[in-house]
Amino acid sequence: MDYPPINDRLEKVLTQTGYDAVIGIDEVGRGSWAGPVVVGAFVFSKDSKLIPDVNDSKKLTRKSRIRLYEELKDENFSIAQSEVDEVDELNVLQATRLAIVRAVSELKVEGRVIALIDGYFREQFDFEHRFIIKGDTKHYSIAAASILAKVYRDNLMVELASSYPDYGFETNVGYGTKRHREALEKYGVCDIHRKSYKPIKRLLDSRMAG
């Protein structure tokens, strides 16, 4: 059963008090052991319509996420990512920050704009923004971004599973499930694993030592 929609009260207040658009931003895949970090950026303006059932992507069924994705993709949004080598080189927080900057730069928005960013980053961004802890459970634009990013990344991991069929990426989307851990022990690390992550690094170190 789907959850009721998150309200768009904050977005409406902002667009009625001087802002031309509000950008909701959320990331997906930060805790994954493989694949990119993906960021969704969704634009809410005075003309935006409220799509029923939009909520934090983690609270929705896969079927509901896909249905809502199809509706939301007709709106103004962008999706950007940081690749595995960027996660390993920069660390996952900085790689996520880079993906956020990329997502915002790809949007077509005019006038005074503010971004509502799920979570918190120690470093500030060059554009006007607010950090909102658990924002995907509170604000419509962030929840919409979470759905767009989640479905996009899930589809991407299904595609990658065809190139790396042993790890179950089509179902675990890179997270450390039992099947994924067993596959790592049996087949080792593949090109899209994050080698800076402790479970992956530990496996690589043990095989070098052995």
Domain presence at residue 177: no
Domain presence at residue 155: yes
Domain presence at residue 202: no
Output the CA torsion sign for 171, 52, 67, 73: negative
CA-to-CA distance for 206 and 188, rounded, in angstroms?
A: 11
Domain presence at residue 84: yes
The pLDDT of residue 205 is 86
CATH number at residue 64: 3.30.420.10
Beta strands in 29-95 (DSSP E): 37-45, 77-82
The pLDDT of residue 5 is 58
Domain presence at residue 192: no
78-108 per-position pLDDT tens digit: 999 999 999 999 999 999 999 999 999 999 9
Domain presence at residue 58: yes
Residue 73 has pLDDT above 80, yes or no: yes
Taking residues 165-175, what's their average pLDDT?
Answer: 97
Write down the residue that tokens 């950090």 correspond to: 131
Q: What is the pTM of this model?
A: 0.94
Domain presence at residue 148: yes
Q: Give the tokens for residue 164.
A: 């790396």
Domain presence at residue 21: yes
Q: Give the tokens for residue 98.
A: 């880079």
- Structural domain including 64 reads 9-163
The pLDDT of residue 49 is 85
Query: Helix, strand or coil for residue 171?
Result: helix
Indicate the number of domains in the chain.
Answer: 1
Percent of the chain clearing pLDDT 70 (strictly above):
96
